[in-house]
A and B are shown apart, each in its own frame.
Chain A
Amino acid sequence: MTASPSFYAASSLPAALDALAECGAEGAPLAGGTWIMRAPIRHEPLKPIYVGLGGVPELTRIEETDGALAIGAGVTHSALGEAIAGRPELRVLAEAAGRSANPAIRRAATLGGNLCTADFAAADLVPALLCLDAEVEIAARGGTERLPLAAFLDLRQSLEPGRLLTRVLVPRSAAFSAHARLPLRKAGDYPTAIVSLSITRDAAGRIAQARIAVGSVETVARRWTRLEAALAGAPLDAEAAHHMATELADEFVGRDGVEAPGWYRVSVLPVLVRRAVIALH
């Protein structure tokens, strides 16, 4: 590897995978850098070697393939938001990408970084993609594997060195979706809680299937399967959804943080569910 001691700019995916494999535990991928560059503020050490992914063209593609939208892990939040604007089934993802952080950060921060940053509980793209039933592709020198996003979230801190999240696959669907987030200011800071919602309706206009994911409340975003089951077959009604969410919210144990205590994050969930349902109309 012809790398500088601390930064190697990969120019292709095979070169990036080779570099990551050779660096082993000493190395880590760096895309937009918006999280890694704050390591000193978090009193965390930097890795000895970063493999820069900005010059890897394979990672910035967005393409329609075999029933899914395949989004390269190097696609920035702003590029993603622009590419999928106007598609109701993906609105949850467009809003998550287009309203998180602030414009300058959205131009740098990538999809892959958002999903791989295990310490970032308030990541917007994670619940959005959970409610879209997304899968991720993990590449290594030896080949590529595909797994559901929820499984990746469980595995991401124990992945062997040399593995890289390369694409996210969002299955095509006829659903309608919405993303409700509650930052303390109107915009520009982390959401205290996030509800991502994707719903298909039957011929009578009732909810056929609801997929709901909750982010920022617990340390890792997850699906709210009890609420999904309660909503199936129900009319699409914001007040009813609010009521059901109030009944079921006690399954969450909110994380305490400097910006909000855990109980507060849980207590706003029913309102965010209501807002998400209203936003579907």
Chain B
Amino acid sequence: MPIDMIVNGEAKQSAADPMTPLVDVLRDEFHLTGAKPVCREGFCGACTVLVDGEPRAACLTPAGLAQGREIGTVEGLSAGGRLNPVQASLVEHDAVQCGMCFPGMVVTLTHFLAQTPRPSRDQVRAALTGNACRCTGYERIVAAALDVAGA
């Protein structure tokens, strides 16, 4: 049975087995390769996407649970070729190193800053608990997030 979902505002249909991880459907069927399957255990956050507007680990989300849901990926956050404020701030702070964690960082921080417009440093750090940067570039990432918030 095909799985219907809205991906970045566009109606999509997947033929995948319903227990297929959503990240594989997004990458292999829909060719949205921003979300990265890295740990596949929900620890690293590189596969973070929005499900009905909320960040989720796409590696642990079965495609069957995406039926009828709105999925947002990092590609949808820079629609029209313009970086969103989080992305622009990360560039400004030269925070991007190997890039593996960044799609997840951007999705998590974009949602977090919309919910918490003036966060403390500790709140930013807590929000990034599930996004591991293997280059350990956290200081610049946190600084970029605080800069977006005008803190």
Does B59 count as interface, using CB distance less than 8 angstroms?
yes
Closest to B111 in A: A103
**Interchain CA distance A190-B57 in the complex, whole Å:** 17
Q: Is the CB of A34 within 8 A of B17?
A: no
Q: Whole-angstrom distance from the CB of B101 to the nearest CB of chain A?
A: 13
Binary CB contact string for chain B from 48 to 77 against chain A (1 if under 8 A, 0 otherwise): 100000111101111011010000000000
Q: Is the CB of A102 within 8 A of B18?
A: no
**Interchain CA distance A105-B57 in the complex, whole Å:** 7
- Tell me how many residues of A have a C-beta within 8 Å of chain B: 25
- Contact A6-B130, Cβ < 8 Å, known A37-B59, A102-B42, A189-B43: no
Q: Which of A176-198 contact B (CB under 8 A)?
A: 187-189
Q: Is the CB of B42 within 8 A of A50?
A: no
Q: Whole-angstrom distance from the CB of A221 to the nearest CB of chain B?
A: 21
Q: Is the CB of A6 within 8 A of B60?
A: no
Partner of B21, one of A4, A37, A52, A107: A37
Q: Is the CB of B57 within 8 A of A52?
A: no
Complex interface: chain B residues within 8 A of A7 (CB): 18-19, 62, 64
Q: Which of B1-38 contact A (CB under 8 A)?
A: 1, 17-19, 21
Main secondary structure of the interface of B (DSSP, over half): loop
Q: Is the CB of B45 within 8 A of A6?
A: no
Q: Which of A52-105 contact B (CB under 8 A)?
A: 52, 54, 101-105
Q: Given known contacts A50-B64, A103-B108, A187-B129, what 19 new A-B pairs fall within 8 Å (CB)?
A: A4-B64, A6-B18, A7-B18, A7-B19, A7-B62, A33-B65, A37-B21, A37-B60, A37-B62, A38-B60, A41-B40, A102-B130, A104-B42, A104-B55, A104-B56, A108-B56, A108-B60, A187-B126, A188-B129
User: Interface residues, chain A, CB within 8 Å of chain B?
Assistant: 4, 6-7, 9, 30, 32-34, 37-38, 41, 46, 50, 52, 54, 101-105, 107-108, 187-189
